[in-house]
Structure 1
């Protein structure tokens, strides 16, 4: 076994084909966040992105995309916006983390959405998280039946909201693959407003994320396709979503809606329309990613497991990383394990968001 480390842009066509073939043969690696296209798109806007290719008898058998930082501290490609991470490999190709880290020149590799129980990094998981899934593998009608088992009123409410939205605003129109870049800009504006309103960090304040989505949206072929979907009422876009699409998995990513129409639940309408399209295209499931949210509890049919943590070699860089991460991790665990602290944290973020919204909307004297 030998490793070579290259820029994703320098992968040979045969290596890209081998990467895709592993994904096709192994359902656990089917998520489009794990594909060569996502790594190449991030590399175009984040120049420190690399991929380690494991070679055996001259053939590529594993692919490990990563981003290298100072002191040999690396992390997952697109950490913070990447919802799925792994070493994409043939069974048993890379079973130990240390040789891989040394070949990559890394002392630490940090991850936050590692595919559950996949080698060689699963032994280094510090926390496990549930990632909600909308299973549409048996068709849309079967999916709706499963959702109805959890919430009998939900689908009926959605039909009622849809009729009311059509009466009040205009005919409902759904565009599964919207190519208009203006609608992508609308989504990013709505999402930034939501981040500010709820006290969260605005991801679209970072130019590289804007450029990443723009690049993925422009991609018309390959896997993943950056898929923008829009729900219209009359001429008004009322809900939008940008995600990544592959033959087996539709990875949801950035949903947003016009708050003026919130009482109609347009975001939920949009998810149901996307699920119907995904089921018709033969997709196995929609990955809603980790994180709490009532809409996920309503829409999901099951959970996957993803892991958060880091693998490290003995080094000054690893020690510095440990000193930075462990206190934060302990505080995070403390809040998650105590519902009253979790509620207080949410209220604090919402309060900060309200103050920030008022401040940004106030006229400057």
Structure 2
């Protein structure tokens, strides 16, 4: 195995084409966060992004995109934003993970959404479900499954949709639009949601806003930013921005106008999005790891992602373990316990309300 390092912009057309070919050859890599376009776009905005190109003789057998931070700490590209991470590689690749990260100049590589089938995986890494909406047999089959397993949710959502039209006006759904104005409306809703629930506002970082704008402008057969919005009486009510490959759409930034909260606008929007996505050839909507009520109501299957790290022996790896691993394990304990999770969520929302009052 031979590893060469490159900035994303230094990859040639032949290398990008090989990356796409490897991605499309294995269903485990069918996620836009693993596409070369995503890494290249993030690399235009963040100088910490690198790509390890893995060679076996004259052949390229893998690509490992990552961020290199001080003390040799490696993270996924756009860490904290992505729901799929890892190498894109040829099947049956025989790779020593510690040798790879050494070749990358890393002491540690940490991850929280490592996809299945990775050479980096071992039995110590924690596995987590990533819920999906399965559209491989079409939207009608998906709704039949919902009726069987989440019948009350499906019927209630349709009833609220009809009530919304009676009380507020007709609904309109724009799928895969590319205008910046509705995107900024959506990001404003998302910022309000972050503040309301006590979370960090991702869009306070200028580079993330610019990243989303650039991804929306990226439109190709194999990769695109997808913005869709639901309007009521011509007024934006709910929407979502995500990314797609040919057949997979990832859930990324859903949000809605809280004035319409009593109508369950998020569920109305997700059903509308699923229908239009299926018409456009999408077979799977990956909603991403994380326990959310709407995901439980809408999912019809699950993928699996892993959390953990690969580390070389040394002081940097030891310091990283002390700073990160106990915190991660504590968070995992909270997330796995419904009572602790409810208590933590309530505390965050209380903090969010106080922060809103103090800033308002």
Fold shared by both chains (TM-score > 0.5): yes
- 2:177 partner SS: coil
Q: Does 1:285 pair with 2:284?
A: yes
1:60 Cα offset (Å): 1.4
Q: How does 1:43-82 map to 2 (within 5 A)?
A: 43-82=43-82
Counterpart of 1:257 in structure 2 is 256
1:76 Cα offset (Å): 0.5
Q: How does 1:18-37 map to 2 (within 5 A)?
A: 18-37=18-37
CA contact (8 A) 2:93 2:119 kept: no
CA contact (8 A) 1:125 1:308 kept: no
Instruction: Give the Cα–Cα distance (whole angstroms) in 2 for the partners of residues 273 and 203 of structure 1.
Output: 26
- How many residues are paired up? 360
Counterpart of 1:40 in structure 2 is 40
CA contact (8 A) 1:124 1:311 kept: no
Instruction: Give the Cα–Cα distance (whole angstroms) in 1 for the partners of residues 123 and 183 of structure 2.
Output: 37
Counterpart of 2:104 in structure 1 is 104
1:194 Cα offset (Å): 0.4
Counterpart of 2:215 in structure 1 is 216
CA contact (8 A) 1:96 1:119 kept: no
**1:113-159 Cα distance to aligned partner (Å, 9 max, x none):** 0013x232111753221110000000111000111111222222222
- 1:78 partner SS: coil
1:311 Cα offset (Å): 0.4
Q: How does 1:191-270 map to 2 (within 5 A)?
A: 191-221=190-220, 223-270=222-269
Counterpart of 2:14 in structure 1 is 14
Q: Does 1:89 pair with 2:89?
A: yes
- 2:86 partner SS: coil
**1:197-254 Cα distance to aligned partner (Å, 9 max, x none):** 0111111111111111011011122542111100011120000100001112111100
1:319 Cα offset (Å): 1.0
Instruction: Give the Cα–Cα distance (whole angstroms) in 1 for the partners of residues 347 and 156 of structure 2.
Output: 31
- 2:165 partner SS: helix
CA contact (8 A) 1:170 1:234 kept: yes
Instruction: Give the Cα–Cα distance (whole angstroms) in 2 for the partners of residues 175 and 334 of structure 1.
Output: 40
Flag the 1:125–1:64 CA change in 2: closer, same or farther, 3 A: farther
CA contact (8 A) 1:62 1:94 kept: no
Flag the 1:154–1:21 CA change in 2: closer, same or farther, 3 A: same
Flag the 1:42–1:125 CA change in 2: closer, same or farther, 3 A: farther
- 2:253 partner SS: strand
**1:45-84 Cα distance to aligned partner (Å, 9 max, x none):** 1111010111223221100000000111110111100110
> Unpaired runs of 5+ in structure 2?
none
Instruction: Give the Cα–Cα distance (whole angstroms) in 1 for the partners of residues 297 and 343 of structure 2.
Output: 23
Counterpart of 1:166 in structure 2 is 165
CA contact (8 A) 1:124 1:310 kept: no
1:338 Cα offset (Å): 3.5
Counterpart of 1:308 in structure 2 is 307
Task: Give RMSD over aligned pairs.
Answer: 1.4
TM-score (normalizing by structure 2): 0.97
Larger CA deviation: 270-279 vs 208-217? 270-279
- 2:125 partner SS: strand
- 1:290 partner SS: coil
CA contact (8 A) 2:161 2:268 kept: yes
